[in-house]
Structure 1
């Protein structure tokens, strides 16, 4: 059994240690670390869990030079130092361990390899030597550790010294003796060696819990599948409803568009038969207004005050001072003078009509419409002001 010098937190019980589990309270079950080694990974920090798992499997297959059939993987999210690792264990062995703990489900905090119950030491190592073997447990970082016989452990510690940035600043032996060979290796590192345990919080650290073998990956998948099945019906019904709504909206838009085209065609046909018998219809409102104005003027008295040239002369004086563009000037027999104007906007049209009405003539807008580039096209009738003819005479 591996224990820590802490008075709080769950007890640690070795599954194959021969002792009975704690009588009460939560506990951490541990197994020999040789059966569940950690493999370092090179993973980007920001990856979805599914993508992280796929890349981890590829890297572990490369390290083992073999497939992962019959193996379980536990991959952590980036640890406090940014490192990632995968814990690999035989699937049947992990299932056997979980089966042995089934009656203790609610009390088991985690099922971990024994080396992950050692604390994480900042810029250092936590080691524990088991007198049987002797056997060494090592925690070299948040996601770095191993369990091995002493000769193998010495080789792994030398490899760790070679691959890390530098030797550890401090080493804790966790109340265990240091064999001569291990003591010599630690002395060569120049690290400060402590016989006891470091001050640390109770219970497994979050980095260790990422490799919890008590969590059955098949059970996790079944839980996800169950959740998906539970929501599958409502989601399908919701998507079907959205599809039906979208189809109804599309049909309604098509119906409105068809009705608008029919109305435009009917209006154009009516205008062609009654008002614009020939020529292109470019502006239905303006051209029909012009035709209606001409017909109304034809029914009026032929006398409209001053001579048309006098009216045009007076209007020209105002138009010459205005930015408006004259597009067409026309007059039918007995009808008022009509001027088609192109102005910048409706406000400019109102100002122009006001200026035309200040002299010996009077102007009114027959119709107007907005054209391209935010300009306004207008048809204006101009007549002499009441009394203008008598004053001229």
Structure 2
């Protein structure tokens, strides 16, 4: 006979009655504070519009309004996710797609019209309205509990919970019971309504999530294709402009040495020595080219060691600051490594920089973040087929983000974010 042992529920499981009680508390809290919050937001809007042309004060207030709306939206999404134990992606500020003040202004504008933020604000407003009703229902419960003892007094009639005509004392106990039952039922109904509305408004539908995944997958695939094209073009250019001419020169030098080996052995030896030197240089270039395709030390010893070797080979001094707890996926580390390598190459070749700084961290959300900054003359731009275009495509293919800030006069900074599990 086989015995079966019942598995206890997880410690994090919460019973529905307790969840309803938490929802009612949330409604009451938001109902009590929502009016003040919306009054403050309305005050910012009105004052900002009124002072729009007063030395730019109105613009500052309107910018603050966007940040305040973002804060409320972020709080609402976090609140709903924590209340119903539903995995909801937090609200993130729109990233810059351009460097400098113009990029920040564009991100501010995109955030001001962000649909997800406004859905969260709408849900917060609905919650505040439901919360006000919950507070009134709680007042009705308190009133009902008090009038239940009305027959013990000398009063002939009592006032209703929301004003109005008097109620005979003889009916007070029955009215109290009905009032408590109706108020509790109303609170439970509002809690259930809040759950339905919140999950419908704040949580994205499965269809929307699949659409976003398809769009992200398409973007990653396009980035991978473009990155492969850029890499192939770079390899062809390095072979054509570097190794190939040197090997041709070696062949010609050996041919001349072969012709002079009988008549002028001394000159032939010099030519052979020259060909030997050129051959070693070609081997070095091939090794560098192979290292540019794949860094074996990256697999063997990790990103920290690979970057240390990269900084040691750099033509300009590099200050390296790498703090990583553990390893990321091979694809993520490779994308960040080659982005840093290309950035240092650009800094040495084009920016006239005298030093560079590389910072690498694993940030919250299991994201590999890196920043490369040099003190060069700036003005770097993403050109189709160029090194920066290759970085952008490689990072996009890994599911990450890329940001370049390079004003004229410098400095130039490049930041990349790649999911560790890409």
Give TM-score scaled by structure 2 length.
Answer: 0.22
Higher helix share: 2
**Greater relative contact order: 1 or 2 (C-alpha under 8 angstroms, separation 6 or more)?**
2
Larger radius of gyration: 1
Give TM-score scaled by structure 1 length.
Answer: 0.23
